[in-house]
A and B are shown apart, each in its own frame.
Chain A
Amino acid sequence: MSNAVAHAEAHGHAVHHDALQHHFETMQQQKEASTLGMWVFLLTEVLFFGGLFFAYLLYRVWYFDAFAEASRTLDISLGAFNTAVLIGSSLTMALAVRSAQTNQRSATVRWLISTIVLGCVFLGVKVVEYADKFEHHHVPGPHFISESPWAAQEQLFFSLYFTMTGLHALHMIVGVGIMSVITWMAAKGKFDEHYYTPVEMAGLYWHFVDLVWIYLFPLLYLVERHN
């Protein structure tokens, strides 16, 4: 995926680009390989989260009241805010890729940095939310406290909440890491309109992380908000 081509030397020209690795014949082939590789990687990610989603789905059907009750303890405004932030970061990411495609180096860097900043905002909010959970003893395990009659099953919800959002946050941290490297590369002028695969691949990854959240938000925060 992206790091496979990460060592690329820049300022190329169409005929024999410096970023072309020895075992590929053409830049086209190299780019197609990276793209396919990234998509196959995302495919594994879909199934990775798929297992978790099934566990969630099953218990939500079984213990709907407990899930509704537990979900109401989540802060909907923070959740919605974070959704907006993450979608915003997807926008900036898409624009970063576009700038790379059109060879606007400083715009690329600017959009990438915006994406990183938004990603960090998201993670910051997540920290606040987690802290709140610890404070209210909503972390499943021996210290879990809940007044509701569904205390036991609420732990299922919170276990899934922490696992799902935790893995999602982990993906974001990795994403921010990757993005920092790419920003640095972009600032160094390693990309041009013939070679911007790393930016594009990082973008695909980032959008995927966004996709996961698009589902997590309603599933975790909005189980049953009326009444």
Chain B
Amino acid sequence: MGSFGIPLFPEQASTFARDVDALYFFIIAVSGFFALGVTVAVIVFGIVFRRRHAGEVGARIEGNLPLELAWSIIPTMISMVMFGWGASSYFHMRTPPAEALNIYAVGKQWMWKFQHLEGQREINELHVPVGRPVKVTITSEDVVHSLYLPSFRTKMDAIPGRYTHLWFEATKVGEYHIFCTEYCGTNHSGMIGTVVVMEPNDYQAWLAGGGVEGTLVERGQRLFQDLACGTCHLDTGKGRGPSLNDIVGKTVALADGSTAVVDEGYLRESIINSQAKIVQGYQPLMPAFQGLVSEDNLVALVEYVKSLSPQATTTAPAAATAPAAPAADPTKKK
């Protein structure tokens, strides 16, 4: 790809790429039209109406209301098209399909750490299968970073203290750049890596090749024991803390009268800073694990707690988002 040896476009390696590029070309066309129109107009006027003798003055034209209206309304309407198209692709990019593969990414000065549910952990390298939606849950251990996959046309900031998400579906086997695009200090430009898109079989083989510590859930379970979470969180619900079975996807009532939906962000907050949201009927007894659990381990804990809600994590959300999936479909067919 490219012209005169100068590359012009990054590779199109995800389902988003065509969509985003098409939108890009549309805006180029509109902009080109206006830019050329105005440029040609001012040049032509400059030649045709050039001053011919020193005392010449221009015609007295004060303005023209219909013209003013036309050139405010037409650009408004055109820009609404851009807005609508841009917004719909944004929604698409922000709505991971329910069946997406879950991968966790933790940014840290200056590296990317990825964890697969199967237990594989990697640094500055991310292996994903082709043709399957992948959802990456992102956070940071220190400052703000941003996970950027140019060939997939997507990026998302990694924010300390929070989970953010991005998703993509790779369409081409190959190796592509990973960049950190939020300035994060000295070695910001070194915080780069490679995303390796593999055939599903190769991916399975690759997954099988590692995971000495067991799957993410297993690691989480071990942590759960090591940190003695189970002393309070009994399955019976009779412990000092609420039972953690089947809570994901549900709405919990909080002590201050409000409610919260249990998702990964909520679980993370409940562990690291449990006092922020107190479950109704319980005391703020749970110690804050802030600083005691690294982001990597938190991810494992969260996955483990999620695994205690088997319906929610497999069937329930799929049902909830099922109607959205077909809506996303048209953009998927190439």
- Closest B residue by C-beta to A66: B275
- Closest B residue by C-beta to A151: B288
- Give the docked Cα–Cα distance between A128 and B275 (Å): 31
Is B154 an interface position by the 8 A CB rule? no
- Closest A residue by C-beta to B255: A65
| Other-chain residue from B256, B276, B278, B285 in contact with A153 (beta carbon distance below 8 A) | B276
Q: Please count the residue pairs between chain A and chain B whose beta carbons lie under 8 angstroms apart in the complex.
A: 20
A62 lies within 8 A of B276 (CB): yes
* Contact digits for B221-233, partner A, Cβ 8 Å, 1 yes 0 no: 0000000000000
Q: How far is the CB of B160 from chain A (nearest CB, A)?
A: 14
Q: How far is the CB of A14 from chain B (nearest CB, A)?
A: 44
Given A65-B275, A65-B278, A66-B275, also A149-B288 (CB < 8 A): yes
B-chain residues with CB within 8 Å of residue A64 when the two chains form the complex: 256
Is A144 an interface position by the 8 A CB rule? no
- A residues 146-161 near B (Cβ < 8 Å) are 149-150, 152-153
B256 lies within 8 A of A149 (CB): no
- Give the docked Cα–Cα distance between A66 and B278 (Å): 12
B276 lies within 8 A of A149 (CB): no
- Closest A residue by C-beta to B278: A65
Q: How far is the CB of B233 from chain A (nearest CB, A)?
A: 17
- Give the docked Cα–Cα distance between A66 and B276 (Å): 8
A-chain residues with CB within 8 Å of residue B242 when the two chains form the complex: none
A149 lies within 8 A of B284 (CB): yes
- Give the docked Cα–Cα distance between A63 and B161 (Å): 15
Is B31 an interface position by the 8 A CB rule? no
A152 lies within 8 A of B288 (CB): yes
- Give the docked Cα–Cα distance between A69 and B290 (Å): 20
- Give the docked Cα–Cα distance between A64 and B254 (Å): 12
- Give the docked Cα–Cα distance between A149 and B285 (Å): 8
Q: How far is the CB of A184 from chain B (nearest CB, A)?
A: 51
Q: Among B256, B275, B278, find the residue whose CB has the most chain A CB atoms closer than 10 A.
A: B275
Is B273 an interface position by the 8 A CB rule? yes
* Contact digits for A135-171, partner B, Cβ 8 Å, 1 yes 0 no: 0000000000000011011000000000000000000
- Give the docked Cα–Cα distance between A64 and B257 (Å): 12
- Closest A residue by C-beta to B285: A149
A63 lies within 8 A of B276 (CB): yes
* Contact digits for B261-292, partner A, Cβ 8 Å, 1 yes 0 no: 00000000000010110100000110010100
| Other-chain residue from B256, B278, B290 in contact with A152 (beta carbon distance below 8 A) | B290
B-chain residues with CB within 8 Å of residue A152 when the two chains form the complex: 273, 288, 290
- Give the docked Cα–Cα distance between A153 and B275 (Å): 9
- Give the docked Cα–Cα distance between A191 and B59 (Å): 56
Q: How far is the CB of B259 from chain A (nearest CB, A)?
A: 14
- Give the docked Cα–Cα distance between A66 and B275 (Å): 9
- Give the docked Cα–Cα distance between A63 and B269 (Å): 12
* Contact digits for A61-98, partner B, Cβ 8 Å, 1 yes 0 no: 01111100000000000000000000000000000000
B-chain residues with CB within 8 Å of residue A149 when the two chains form the complex: 275, 284-285, 288
- Give the docked Cα–Cα distance between A153 and B288 (Å): 11
- Give the docked Cα–Cα distance between A62 and B269 (Å): 12
Q: How far is the CB of A69 from chain B (nearest CB, A)?
A: 10
| Other-chain residue from B256, B288, B290 in contact with A65 (beta carbon distance below 8 A) | B256
- Closest A residue by C-beta to B287: A149
- Give the docked Cα–Cα distance between A66 and B255 (Å): 13
Q: How far is the CB of A72 from chain B (nearest CB, A)?
A: 15
- Give the docked Cα–Cα distance between A150 and B285 (Å): 11
A-chain residues with CB within 8 Å of residue B275 when the two chains form the complex: 65-66, 149-150, 153
- Give the docked Cα–Cα distance between A206 and B273 (Å): 42
B-chain residues with CB within 8 Å of residue A63 when the two chains form the complex: 276
Further contacts, 7 of them, CB under 8 A, given A62-B276, A65-B284, A152-B290: A63-B276, A65-B275, A149-B275, A149-B284, A150-B284, A153-B275, A153-B276
Between A and B, 20 residue pairs with Cβ closer than 8 Å are A62-B276, A63-B276, A64-B256, A65-B256, A65-B275, A65-B278, A65-B284, A66-B275, A149-B275, A149-B284, A149-B285, A149-B288, A150-B275, A150-B284, A152-B273, A152-B288, A152-B290, A153-B273, A153-B275, A153-B276
- Per CB-CB distance, the 8 closest pairs between chain A and chain B, nearest first, are A149-B284, A149-B275, A150-B275, A64-B256, A63-B276, A152-B290, A152-B273, A152-B288
